[in-house]
Chains A and B, each alone.
Chain A
Amino acid sequence: MIPVNYLDLLRLAAPETVVLAGALVVLGVDLLALREVETGLRRLLLLILGAVTCGAAIAWMAAFPNLGNFMQGMLVVTPLTQWVKGGVLALAILTLLLSGGASFTNHWGEYVALLLLSAVGLMFLVSSESLLVIFIALELASLSLYILAAFHHDAPESAEAALKYFLFGSVSAGFMLFGLSLLYGLSGSIDLREIAAALGGPFLDPLLAVAMVTVAVGLGFKIAAAPFHLWAPDVYQAAPPPSAAFIASASKLASFFVLAKVLSVGMGGLEGRAVFGDYLPGWVPLLAALAAASLLWGNLAAIVQTNVRRLIAYSAIAHAGYMLLGIMGGKAGLPALVYYAMTYGFTTLGAFGVASLVRDRVGGDNLSDFAGLSRREPWMAFCMLVFMLSLAGIPPLAGFFGKFYLFAAALKTSSLDLLWLVILAIGMSAVSLYYYLQVLKQIYVVPPPSGLAAAPIPSLPKTVIILAALTVIVLGCAPNLLLRVLAAP
């Protein structure tokens, strides 16, 4: 029996504790002090309280950078996990502020508390190397996100999308748990490092192959990689826009990080080989298959979409394909992966913000509803231009350098083994330019419909969108700002 040092635990889990306490405070304040307050003010106060909580957690991490390993991998805090957690919190702040002008619910206390709780889940997910904590954190994050997806009180599609999300999510959680139980049985430990030492490699036990595939199914669902992507288009389209933005950005960032961790730390000797025509079973060929399917299906299905949020969903599936390349790049690919996932998070969050503004104004977010946006809202149109071009990978925006570093990492570590996949990814990102330009064509070329009265847009979401666009431009022009600290040992 190892004695537990609770002070150590508190030191390492302080940021999570701050956010958790913030969630409870939000619920309490909403219940005790804000019952009688008018909805708009109440919403503003609660959102700011939530954002301040996340900011406090970031400030805490910056001021007291406690690193360490608690209870054999239960909680592992490294500079890299601090940065990823900071990214999750920053995305949570932007999501909260993005909800500033929204009217999809009256239960703002619950909304903010659930968002903070899912952020706590994602933070624990990032900083644990124990199967048990990973599973619980994943479920905490997922269960909160299911409810957030159902928050639109007068849209029947919202509940339907949330239910689909829940069903797919629970099945994949079942798969993942089954895989984790096999991993535990085969290695006799729930710590990823001990598992890697016990499993060895490079040859794959049949039971271990089952474990690997079921874990990949479970996490493949969270990152929305084809063929486990079926929930994504519905949820992105029908969930309240800020919830969808959070699901598409922060949840994806943390899930990619944990997938990379489970595979490269927990199954370090079992990479296998995915050379075209000569392969060795392992997780690299498995991921290569997922990546190829996501790239093809995501990009080709996005071409025929008429709803912008659904289009972003299919493009998210394609982006999951690009990001899987970073995981295959091994340890050296990790900074590139985190850089890509973070900048992708800001980009897609901003795109959801613009879609949400258009939806509030025009009443829908189909492609045709974006017609003439540049005449009505030149700044929002310009931000959407930045987001779409960054997603397509046009320099000097962050999307270009993200892709560049991912492809370089995939090629560097495996001595051109993955060349075929990189070529496919580059070809597919050329395809993706078509549907991103479709959106921009509506915004800049097609004339606006007549009879649309000018109305002021709420300033909080507008600020968030401009902030996201600035982040994308700055991180694109100076990728080293982020990459250097991510790659630091």
Chain B
Amino acid sequence: MSVGLQHYLVVSAVLFSLGLLGVILRRNLLVIYMGLEMMLNAANLALVAFSRFTNNLDGQVFVFFVITVAAAEVAVGLALIVALYRRRQTVHAEDLTCMKL
């Protein structure tokens, strides 16, 4: 069996869904971040696969930028967690209850 574009896309969709599930179901902020990264990497996989199968390099360039942006995003996110931890001593999503509807 040869591996075609649709196989990559299915893996990418599965990765994306797993990442989203992680974000929704997990309670620890650090684990939620890992879910976020997985969502971005799912998109990266789709971009690279499309790029490979359509012989168009734009997608690969796109991925380089996305990886960089993801690193910046984690830096900001971790800084926010540190800021929160200093004031509230928690990294759990269910403790974020200062404000209610």
The chain A residues found within 8 Å of chain B, CB to CB, are: 131-132, 135-136, 139, 143, 146-147, 150, 156-157, 159-164, 166-167, 170-171, 173-175, 177-178, 180-182, 184-185, 188-190, 233-234, 237-238, 301
Q: Is the CB of B83 within 8 A of A184?
A: no
Question: By CB atoms of chain B within 10 A, which of A143, A161, A162, A181 has the most?
Answer: A181
A238 to B9, CA, bound (A): 40
A148 to B64, CA, bound (A): 27
A301 to B73, CA, bound (A): 32
A233 to B96, CA, bound (A): 14
Partner of B54, one of A131, A135, A161, A188: A188
Q: Is the CB of A166 within 8 A of B77?
A: yes
Residues of chain B lying within 8 A (CB to CB) of residue A150: 80, 83
Q: Is the CB of A182 within 8 A of B84?
A: no
Residues of chain A lying within 8 A (CB to CB) of residue B20: 171, 174
Of the A-B pairs whose beta carbons lie under 8 Å apart in the complex, a sample of 26, sorted by A's number, is A132-B61, A132-B65, A135-B66, A147-B76, A147-B79, A147-B80, A156-B88, A160-B99, A161-B99, A163-B29, A163-B84, A166-B77, A167-B32, A173-B40, A178-B16, A178-B43, A181-B12, A181-B50, A181-B62, A184-B58, A184-B59, A185-B49, A188-B50, A190-B58, A190-B62, A301-B101
A160 with B62, Cβ < 8 A, contacts A150-B83, A174-B19, A185-B54 known: no
Partner of B99, one of A182, A189, A238: A238
CB distance from A299 to the nearest CB of B (A): 15
- Which B35-92 residues sit within 8 Å CB-CB of chain A? 36, 39-40, 42-44, 46-47, 49-50, 54, 56, 58-59, 61-62, 65-66, 69, 72-73, 76-77, 79-81, 83-84, 87-88
A185 with B50, Cβ < 8 A, contacts A177-B66, A190-B62 known: yes
Lowest 4 CB-CB distances: which A-B pairs, in order? A174-B39, A185-B50, A177-B43, A181-B46
CB distance from A266 to the nearest CB of B (A): 15
A146 to B74, CA, bound (A): 12
A135 with B65, Cβ < 8 A, contacts A181-B47, A182-B46 known: yes
The chain B residues found within 8 Å of chain A, CB to CB, are: 9, 12, 16, 19-20, 23, 29, 32, 36, 39-40, 42-44, 46-47, 49-50, 54, 56, 58-59, 61-62, 65-66, 69, 72-73, 76-77, 79-81, 83-84, 87-88, 96, 98-99, 101
Residues of chain B lying within 8 A (CB to CB) of residue A135: 62, 65-66, 69
Complex: chain A residue closest to B42, CB-CB:
A178
CB distance from A305 to the nearest CB of B (A): 9
Residues of chain A lying within 8 A (CB to CB) of residue B39: 171, 174-175, 177-178
CB distance from A177 to the nearest CB of B (A): 4
Complex: chain A residue closest to B62, CB-CB:
A132
Complex: chain A residue closest to B56, CB-CB:
A188
Q: Is the CB of A238 within 8 A of B98?
A: yes
A155 to B83, CA, bound (A): 11
A165 to B47, CA, bound (A): 27
Partner of A143, one of B12, B43, B72: B72
A156 to B99, CA, bound (A): 11
